[in-house]
Amino acid sequence: MAYWIFIVAVLVRFVPHPPNFAPVFGALLFGGAFLKRRDSVWFPVALLAVSDILLTTWVYHMRVGWAEPLDWLGFALIALIGGWLRNRISARNVVAAALAGPTAFFLVSNFGVWLGFQMYPPSLAGLAACYVAALPFFGNSLAASLFYSGLLFGAYELWRRRVAAMKSELLAAGPR
Protein backbone atom coordinates (compact mmCIF):
# COMPACT_ATOMS: atom_id res chain seq x y z
CA MET A 1 0.00 0.00 0.00
CA ALA A 2 2.85 2.41 0.77
CA TYR A 3 4.10 2.00 -2.82
CA TRP A 4 0.72 3.06 -4.24
CA ILE A 5 0.50 6.01 -1.89
CA PHE A 6 3.90 7.16 -3.08
CA ILE A 7 3.00 6.70 -6.77
CA VAL A 8 -0.18 8.76 -6.34
CA ALA A 9 1.79 11.48 -4.54
CA VAL A 10 4.22 11.67 -7.47
CA LEU A 11 1.37 11.82 -9.99
CA VAL A 12 -0.13 14.77 -8.09
CA ARG A 13 2.94 16.76 -9.16
CA PHE A 14 1.37 16.86 -12.63
CA VAL A 15 -1.82 18.51 -11.32
CA PRO A 16 -1.70 22.33 -11.03
CA HIS A 17 -0.80 23.41 -7.49
CA PRO A 18 0.81 26.39 -5.76
CA PRO A 19 4.61 26.48 -6.13
CA ASN A 20 6.27 23.88 -3.92
CA PHE A 21 2.97 22.82 -2.35
CA ALA A 22 2.78 19.18 -3.40
CA PRO A 23 2.80 15.94 -1.41
CA VAL A 24 6.38 15.07 -2.41
CA PHE A 25 8.09 15.69 0.94
CA GLY A 26 5.34 14.03 2.97
CA ALA A 27 5.41 11.07 0.58
CA LEU A 28 9.20 10.79 0.84
CA LEU A 29 8.98 10.69 4.62
CA PHE A 30 6.12 8.20 4.47
CA GLY A 31 7.99 6.05 1.94
CA GLY A 32 11.14 6.12 4.04
CA ALA A 33 9.15 4.97 7.04
CA PHE A 34 6.91 2.34 5.41
CA LEU A 35 8.44 1.06 2.17
CA LYS A 36 10.61 -2.03 2.40
CA ARG A 37 13.98 -0.91 3.75
CA ARG A 38 15.78 -1.89 0.53
CA ASP A 39 13.35 0.22 -1.53
CA SER A 40 12.94 3.18 0.80
CA VAL A 41 15.43 5.45 -0.99
CA TRP A 42 15.98 4.23 -4.54
CA PHE A 43 12.28 3.72 -5.37
CA PRO A 44 11.08 7.22 -4.37
CA VAL A 45 14.13 8.95 -5.83
CA ALA A 46 13.84 7.05 -9.12
CA LEU A 47 10.14 7.93 -9.47
CA LEU A 48 10.78 11.56 -8.60
CA ALA A 49 13.75 11.75 -10.99
CA VAL A 50 11.59 10.43 -13.84
CA SER A 51 8.80 12.84 -12.93
CA ASP A 52 11.33 15.71 -12.75
CA ILE A 53 12.60 14.88 -16.22
CA LEU A 54 9.06 14.66 -17.62
CA LEU A 55 7.96 17.88 -15.93
CA THR A 56 11.08 19.76 -17.01
CA THR A 57 11.08 18.62 -20.62
CA TRP A 58 7.40 18.10 -21.47
CA VAL A 59 5.52 20.47 -19.19
CA TYR A 60 7.98 23.35 -18.72
CA HIS A 61 9.77 22.83 -22.08
CA MET A 62 13.19 23.29 -20.53
CA ARG A 63 16.37 21.25 -20.52
CA VAL A 64 17.39 19.10 -17.59
CA GLY A 65 20.48 20.72 -16.11
CA TRP A 66 23.55 19.13 -14.61
CA ALA A 67 22.49 20.37 -11.15
CA GLU A 68 19.24 18.35 -11.24
CA PRO A 69 20.91 15.38 -9.46
CA LEU A 70 21.39 17.68 -6.47
CA ASP A 71 17.60 17.82 -6.18
CA TRP A 72 17.56 14.04 -6.29
CA LEU A 73 20.18 14.00 -3.54
CA GLY A 74 17.84 16.25 -1.54
CA PHE A 75 15.00 13.77 -2.16
CA ALA A 76 17.25 10.94 -0.95
CA LEU A 77 18.02 12.86 2.24
CA ILE A 78 14.30 13.26 2.94
CA ALA A 79 13.72 9.54 2.34
CA LEU A 80 16.57 8.80 4.78
CA ILE A 81 14.92 11.07 7.35
CA GLY A 82 11.76 9.02 6.76
CA GLY A 83 13.84 5.90 7.39
CA TRP A 84 14.84 7.40 10.73
CA LEU A 85 11.11 7.58 11.52
CA ARG A 86 10.59 3.87 10.78
CA ASN A 87 10.60 2.70 14.40
CA ARG A 88 10.01 6.10 16.01
CA ILE A 89 6.68 7.21 14.61
CA SER A 90 4.97 9.68 16.89
CA ALA A 91 3.29 13.01 16.24
CA ARG A 92 6.33 14.90 17.53
CA ASN A 93 8.79 12.90 15.41
CA VAL A 94 6.66 13.24 12.27
CA VAL A 95 6.50 17.02 12.79
CA ALA A 96 10.28 17.15 13.37
CA ALA A 97 10.90 15.11 10.21
CA ALA A 98 8.38 17.23 8.26
CA LEU A 99 10.47 20.28 9.18
CA ALA A 100 13.89 18.66 8.73
CA GLY A 101 13.13 17.19 5.28
CA PRO A 102 12.31 20.41 3.44
CA THR A 103 15.13 22.16 5.28
CA ALA A 104 17.66 19.63 4.01
CA PHE A 105 16.17 19.88 0.52
CA PHE A 106 16.23 23.70 0.64
CA LEU A 107 19.92 23.73 1.58
CA VAL A 108 20.97 21.18 -1.04
CA SER A 109 18.79 22.29 -3.96
CA ASN A 110 19.49 26.00 -3.61
CA PHE A 111 23.19 25.30 -3.32
CA GLY A 112 22.75 23.61 -6.72
CA VAL A 113 20.93 26.67 -8.08
CA TRP A 114 23.74 28.93 -6.88
CA LEU A 115 26.42 26.60 -8.19
CA GLY A 116 24.91 25.68 -11.53
CA PHE A 117 22.78 28.45 -12.93
CA GLN A 118 25.09 31.47 -12.64
CA MET A 119 22.19 33.64 -11.51
CA TYR A 120 24.13 34.72 -8.43
CA PRO A 121 27.74 35.79 -7.94
CA PRO A 122 30.15 32.96 -7.06
CA SER A 123 30.66 34.25 -3.53
CA LEU A 124 29.24 33.76 -0.06
CA ALA A 125 27.12 36.88 -0.64
CA GLY A 126 25.79 35.30 -3.85
CA LEU A 127 25.00 32.06 -2.02
CA ALA A 128 23.21 34.02 0.71
CA ALA A 129 21.25 35.95 -1.93
CA CYS A 130 20.22 32.66 -3.54
CA TYR A 131 18.94 31.29 -0.23
CA VAL A 132 17.09 34.53 0.57
CA ALA A 133 15.42 34.55 -2.87
CA ALA A 134 14.20 31.00 -2.28
CA LEU A 135 12.61 31.68 1.11
CA PRO A 136 9.03 32.06 -0.25
CA PHE A 137 9.33 28.63 -1.88
CA PHE A 138 10.75 27.24 1.36
CA GLY A 139 7.69 28.47 3.26
CA ASN A 140 5.41 26.58 0.86
CA SER A 141 7.63 23.50 1.14
CA LEU A 142 7.40 23.55 4.94
CA ALA A 143 3.63 24.04 4.86
CA ALA A 144 3.16 21.25 2.31
CA SER A 145 5.47 18.92 4.19
CA LEU A 146 3.61 19.45 7.46
CA PHE A 147 0.20 19.15 5.82
CA TYR A 148 0.89 16.07 3.67
CA SER A 149 2.97 14.32 6.32
CA GLY A 150 0.13 14.77 8.79
CA LEU A 151 -2.36 13.59 6.20
CA LEU A 152 -0.38 10.51 5.10
CA PHE A 153 0.81 9.37 8.52
CA GLY A 154 -2.53 10.19 10.14
CA ALA A 155 -4.60 8.42 7.48
CA TYR A 156 -2.31 5.40 7.61
CA GLU A 157 -2.63 5.22 11.40
CA LEU A 158 -6.43 5.43 11.18
CA TRP A 159 -6.44 2.70 8.52
CA ARG A 160 -4.09 0.53 10.61
CA ARG A 161 -6.30 0.90 13.69
CA ARG A 162 -9.43 0.10 11.70
CA VAL A 163 -7.87 -3.07 10.28
CA ALA A 164 -6.69 -4.09 13.77
CA ALA A 165 -10.20 -3.54 15.18
CA MET A 166 -11.78 -5.59 12.40
CA LYS A 167 -9.31 -8.43 13.00
CA SER A 168 -10.03 -8.36 16.71
CA GLU A 169 -13.79 -8.44 16.08
CA LEU A 170 -13.35 -11.42 13.77
CA LEU A 171 -11.24 -13.25 16.36
CA ALA A 172 -13.75 -12.46 19.13
CA ALA A 173 -16.61 -13.78 17.01
CA GLY A 174 -14.79 -17.07 16.59
CA PRO A 175 -15.57 -19.76 14.06
CA ARG A 176 -19.17 -20.20 12.98
Domain boundaries of the chain, sorted by first residue: 2-12+19-173
Q: Residue 176 — pLDDT band, cuts 50, 70, 90?
A: low
Which one-letter DSSP state was computed for residue 123?
S
Q: How many Å apart are CA 7 and CA 47, to the nearest integer? A: 8
Q: How many Å apart are CA 10 and CA 13, to the nearest integer? A: 6
At position 140, the amino acid (one-letter code) is: N
Q: Is the pLDDT of residue 135 over 70?
A: yes
pLDDT of residue 1: 77
Helix 24-34 × helix 42-54 angle, to 10°: 160
Region 77-92 average pLDDT = 96
Q: How many Å apart are CA 124 and CA 108, to the nearest integer? A: 15
Looking at per-residue confidence, does 61 or 93 come out higher?
Answer: 93
Q: Is the pLDDT of residue 69 over 80?
A: yes
Decide: helix, strand or coil at residue 42.
Answer: helix
Decide: helix, strand or coil at residue 120.
Answer: coil
156 burial via Cβ count (<10 Å: 0-12, 13-18, 19+):
middle
Q: Residue 36 — pLDDT band, cuts 50, 70, 90?
A: very high
Tell me the HSE value of 54 on the side-chain side, using a 13 A CA sphere.
Answer: 10
Q: Residue 169 — pLDDT band, cuts 50, 70, 90?
A: confident
pTM attached to this predicted model: 0.90
